[in-house]
Amino acid sequence: MTEQTITIYCFIDDFFHGIGRKDDAHCKINDDELLTTALLAARYFHGNLCSAYGYMQAHHGVRRIDKSGFTRRLHGLQPQLLALFAALANASESLTPPRST
pLDDT digits (tens, 9 = 90+) for 55-86: 998 998 888 888 898 999 999 999 999 998 89
How many CB atoms are closer than 10 A to CB 57?
Answer: 14
Supply the range of the domain harboring residue 28: 2-95
CA distance 50 to 68: 11
CA distance 11 to 9: 5
Residue 74 domain flag: yes
Residue 101 domain flag: no
pTM for the whole thing? 0.83
State the DSSP code for 101: -
- Give the model's pLDDT for residue 101: 62
What does the pLDDT look like over 19-46, one tens digit per residue? 888 877 778 889 999 999 999 999 999 9
- Give the model's pLDDT for residue 2: 87
Counting residues of the chain whose pLDDT is more than 90, the rounded percentage is 52
Tell me how many domains the chain contains: 1
At 90, the pLDDT band (50, 70, 90 cuts) reads confident
- Amino acid at site 39: L
